[in-house]
Structure formats: structure tokens, C-alpha cells
Structure 1
């Protein structure tokens, strides 16, 4: 049998102008365009409206990639973006309610997902994130310092967004990966994705990080944090 296929989307995000002077000097690649891949972690297709809301956080994640900070500020800008499907297990509308895997009970570790490594001969890598339950327990999510919890308003829609770091199996943080989950006003999950910038954008950000004196020991110390509870195999 073939490898399990997860839904993936690419977002191409063109920055016309950063509206907040605090972040106006944020360096961007040539032509001010960044690209991001979204991997759907749920068992139903992503809606285009949910994908569109990621435009509110792309610059926040990009800012984190360059600076190493975990505050994920909402950076307002004039922008244009497009998205398209890379792969999907949902080729037909009538399959939209089909489940790919057995749903996990709330707050219980779901079945694992493997993230493939670069070479075909390499062993798959298991990655971990804090648990994002189907029904939000915002107090618990906010208490975990690996989570950034923000209220987002997007063209008249309001929701709660949780952004979390992603970890390797040895407990080290995985660079250029985040888990982003949105919850409705009544606490139910709207979408949950694993996202990363493409190689060109990430390489540009890495060159900008060089020379910065960012002390991450206090922010990323694992001694005072509980171990991640959810593991993913992609």
C-alpha cells in the first residue's frame, strides 16, 4: 500500500506595504514574496476561508523565523496572496465527511504521523507538538508557555488562534515548523495545520538571523516545561 497522503496547500504571499512602523524594516526576500506550505492535520478538507485566515499570521511566523521570538505579533500589512492544493486525499466533494483515521478522544494522544526526511534512504522523523484538543480548553492552552493564544478578527469573523512550536523526538525545537489551530467562539476546532516556509524563504531568513545576538536559553528551556504530549507522523 502507498504512503498515507495528507492534504497540503501552498500559499504565496506578496507584501505590498507593512502598515505598522515597528515592523516596517522587516527584511523580506526579493520582490517581497514569501511562500508557505500548510499540512492539514484534521480528517476533513480545509476550507478556502480557513486557508485565507492564515494571511493574518504569515508575517508573524516570518518575524519569528528571523528573530527567534515567540510572541507572534499581529503585523498588519497591505498584501495579496494566492493558494493552491499540492496534494489531497479528498478529490471529490462527496468525500468531504469521510475520516482518514479513527478520531482520537479529547486530550488523548492521537495516532502518530511521520514527517519524511530529505533522502529516500533516511528514516522517517517523528515530531511532537503540544496537544490541541477538538474542544478548546483555553485556560490549559494559555497555561502552556509553548503556546501563543491570540484573538483574531478577519473580515468580520472572530476566532481564537493557537500557535505552537514543533519539537523533534529528542526534545529539541524544530526550526521553521509551527502548528496553528483555530477555535470558534464556542470553543470547537475550525482548522489545525502544520506550516512551514519553503526552502528559499527559510534560507533568506537564515541569512538575516546571522549576526543577531538572540539569547533563547530562557525562552526555550525544557527544564521547566512539561514534555510535548502529541506526536505527529507526516
Structure 2
């Protein structure tokens, strides 16, 4: 496995939310809330500007999962700003023909088990594991593993299949605030694959909101249980 010193391309994505455009998610970040997502490229080729910009609408989907734990990853439209900044890159002095994987993952009919992401990504303390995502596959094969959330995404007049997968420390321990997002083009070839996590500040904001939501639910439940029984009318 690669060491933690291995340099990977990273981007810091920032959205400023003026207003959520779907009232069903009104309890998510309030107007004016800024969320920041760190995106780490798991491929051995640079992310394109289209790849980076296409992540805009998935930021709220990931944040929704972080707060609620829901695996639906709904698309939550919002009015606001988006900007990106590349923070690290190993590609500045790399020849173009060497920017792609030289040993791609084998073709598979469907996912099986979990493995380290392509061009293994790990920290000094623990490995990073995700469901298997082959170099080329059919959408049906991706949906066969129910841990994956698979949906069609339209961006820049193109449609891709986006896969949001959980990340594990071990086969039985799922990590919070970690996701793998991969895009496949129409012919089934992978376009991009990135590891995502919110910054410490954004993750702390989510933690605070989870506590408030849990407290509010408990207060409603307690209040209902303490309500005096209704008197029955006698006929």
C-alpha cells in the first residue's frame, strides 16, 4: 500500500448557501452557511475542471448523509455560490502519457467484497477500503452492491452515472465523513474517482446540528408522553 507521504491531487470545494430550493430539507444548513469539502483524486490523471465543477450539487447530498445518516443521497438544489481551489498536485512535472494508471483494475461483471481504492489510498494508521469499483462495468453491476448509491447526473450537456460509495476502516467498520464518488461515462468506462471529506469546521457544524435535531426529537417524544390522557365523553 502507498504511504501517507504519497502526494495526491487535492481540491478544496466551497459552497455558500443563500437559500435551499427544496423545503423538505429546510433543517439542513441555514441561509448563509458555508460548507467546505476536501476532494482527493484517486486516479493517476488530473481532474478536469468539469470533473471538479460537477461535484457542486453532490456536496449537499453528502452533507445530508452526514447529518441524517440516510443512504439516499438526494439531490438538494440551492441558490448560492461555488468555488474551487487546487491545494496539491503531483502532475505539474509529469509527462502526459504517464498521467494514467499503468495497471488498471481488472474488468468485472459485478462488485464483490471491498478493497483499497484504485492506486491504494491509506493513512499511516489505517487502510481506506471501499466497495469494488472496476475500470469498466455496467450500471447494473454497480447497483448489484446495495452499498452503492447509483444515479444519473447531468452536467455541461453530458450525462454520467455517478456512484457514491461508503468508506470503511475494516470490513465491518464504516467511517463517518468519508465517501468515494466515481463517475462512469455511457460506455461504462470510469471518468473520475475521488475520496471526499468535509473540513473540520463543516464536520463540526454537522455534529452540532445532529445534536440539536436529536434533542428536539427527544423533547417532542417526552412532551407527548407527559401529556394528560384525554377525557372520554360519556353517552
Question: TM-score, length-normalised on structure 2?
Answer: 0.79
The number of aligned residues is 205
Higher deviation after alignment, 30-39 or 141-150: 30-39
Q: Is the 8 A contact 1:44 1:96 kept in 2?
A: no
Residues 171-210 of structure 1 correspond to what in structure 2 (within 5 A)? 171-210=172-211
Residues 48-87 of structure 1 correspond to what in structure 2 (within 5 A)? 48-87=49-88
The match for 2:143 is 142
Rounded Cα–Cα distance in structure 2 between residues aligned with 1:97 and 1:157: 27
Task: Give per-residue Cα distances to partners, 1:120-161, cap 9 Å, x unaligned.
Answer: xxxx21121001111122112112111000111124221110
Deviation at 1:3, TM superposition (A): 2.4
SS at match of 2:55: helix
Rounded Cα–Cα distance in structure 1 between residues aligned with 2:52 and 2:97: 16
The match for 1:95 is 96
Rounded Cα–Cα distance in structure 1 between residues aligned with 2:164 and 2:122: 20
Deviation at 1:101, TM superposition (A): 6.0
The match for 1:20 is 22
The match for 1:114 is 122
Q: Is the 8 A contact 1:159 1:184 kept in 2?
A: yes
Q: Is the 8 A contact 1:183 1:190 kept in 2?
A: yes
Question: TM-score, length-normalised on structure 1?
Answer: 0.80
The match for 1:132 is 133
- Alpha carbons of 1:40 and 1:96: their partners in 2 closer, same or farther (altered >3 Å)? farther
Task: Give per-residue Cα distances to partners, 1:44-86, cap 9 Å, x unaligned.
Answer: 0000111100002100100110111110001111221111111
Rounded Cα–Cα distance in structure 2 between residues aligned with 1:204 and 1:60: 16
Rounded Cα–Cα distance in structure 1 between residues aligned with 2:187 and 2:106: 19
- Alpha carbons of 1:131 and 1:2: their partners in 2 closer, same or farther (altered >3 Å)? closer
The match for 1:6 is 8
- Alpha carbons of 1:211 and 1:14: their partners in 2 closer, same or farther (altered >3 Å)? closer
List runs of 5+ in structure 1 lacking aligned partners.
117-123, 214-234
Question: How big is the alpha-carbon RMSD for the aligned residues of Structure 1 and Structure 2?
Answer: 2.3
Higher deviation after alignment, 102-111 or 180-189: 102-111
